[in-house]
A and B are shown apart, each in its own frame.
Chain A
């Protein structure tokens, strides 16, 4: 258990060092590259000073770390906003889309996987395998386009992909930055309905892509558990098939939870593109824009924020797995 906690600072160090390295890999004069061709000498000099390129490497490196340790991620080159403020402003929207899609993905994926695992080597399993293999092969942005084409264009079941609220809706006063929560706090039920409606396509996009992976791991682990001696003994004792499936799930839940951590990391990446396509205005969209703008402090902030976030998710799920398994739980005490 202690080992897991020791890893956090090491991992965070890697994350920060990595975000720092991103500037270092820029070819030629990074300041010139960032400022662009139209910039004058003075603008370039300002960026250079901002990046600390006029100082020796080791000094810059230490400086970078001490700044971050104090929560100072600098200001955006692009619009001058304080990066840490921008992150707290956009992060909640990303959490919303990720939690929602993870929820749906888990629901769909685990059911599909459990079905396939339970009926392994029979017809439902074969069908599920084909569905999983096919879904895994569709890039998320393509799923988004197909959903837009069918559900918005052909069938008109969902509104146009142009943001979380329609142009006629007004945004509620900011309390938590979580739009759903703020709308509830403001008692704006029309707005809530509107944003829920507009969440369908982006959430479905991410959920479908992620569900395939959930289904894959659930199918494999539950399938293996179903042919285990434990399940055989449970059946031989006359337990109902429902109970038997529960036994198999108990065995499979550890690996599935561990795998969820990897899916979260992938989801953060996928969310960037999907948020942009649907103008979701979350951290992903903000970060992607920062990258395309070569807005170095914002990129570094984005990398550190997402890296730390997934790291924490990893750790939390690791602890959940340990807490659920009596074998690990008891060894600790």
Chain B
């Protein structure tokens, strides 16, 4: 399994004007890898996965780029073919389980609908498989859960159901959009552990979108850092989080409160996506910005075999190391 996203450009046509949401996004998810896309609001991380899965609002348009999923370009194929891939070959875990589950249908019906969208299967067969999936995601009374409705579940249980639906057809790739943001803190860990276990166990790959650096540090193999609709840095988590090379990654990591040191925030604000960015979008907030940063969009340069940074600085020399007490 591999997912290769290249030069993805997505725009939204709104009453206020054109919103440049993704402006050339490049990254790869390799076989068996868990990749985290991290970024703040407006960085384009959710737009990126919605573009890949064909889930954009009617106002959104993919203008350019490709998303090769095992060689098939998800952005170029017919909607019918994309539909066959969604759910069967790519599982999706939504942010808020109560938003994602249909309140009017029993949980069993929702399993059944997903199964029937891809395979011929009768109800008893689907029920057996659903029960099996529910047990695997750690639901104690799977029969009762199947016969009930979403509103009868707690947040953690509902998210387990969503995970079970996402993995029902044994997809090799799972895409998760902030899978624990809506849950209580003590439940988040349980769900993340569960997801990671299921991914590893099934030798699947996962793309996980989050704004939580801790989730990336603890659960991902590689990280893609986004800012203003562009990837600014990509690489193995172990390297990026200990020696960030892009000034934005550095600033993000410095923003995490640590006892005994003053946290360092970033001045300024995220640029307005209503105008097409010229030059480096981060330069107004960057401590190391030069005049040349305003001239052209910095190209993405490979650093060693497995890292890439989009910055005009000589990053290894000019960007200081992250100092942790």
Contact = CB atoms under 8 A, between A and B. Distances in A.
Interface residues of B, number: 36
Interface in B128-154: 149, 151-152
A326 interface: yes
Interface in A305-333: 324-327, 330
A196 B162 CA distance: 52
Give the dominant DSSP class at A's interface: helix
Contacts of A119: 58
Given A236-B175, A239-B117, 6 more contacts: A232-B94, A233-B94, A236-B87, A238-B114, A239-B87, A326-B106
Contacts of B57: 121, 227
B207 interface: no
Contacts of B79: 241
Contacts of A6: none
Contact of A236 (B94, B99, B106, B149): B94
A247 interface: yes
Contacts of A247: 102
Nearest to B82: A238
B266 interface: no
19 contacts: A232-B55, A233-B92, A233-B94, A233-B99, A233-B100, A233-B101, A234-B102, A235-B54, A235-B55, A237-B86, A237-B92, A238-B85, A239-B114, A239-B117, A240-B117, A250-B105, A325-B103, A325-B104, A330-B149
Given A230-B100, A247-B102, A326-B151, A237 B55 contact: no
Contact of B117 (A227, A229, A237, A326): A237
Interface of A: 119-122, 227-230, 232-241, 243, 247, 250-251, 324-327, 330
A241 B54 CA distance: 13
Nearest to A226: B58
Contact of B58 (A122, A250, A327): A122
Interface in B150-189: 151-152, 162, 165-166, 175
Nearest to A253: B104
B55 A243 contact: no
Contacts of B92: 233, 236-237
Contact of B55 (A120, A236, A324): A236
B53 interface: yes
B149 A229 contact: no
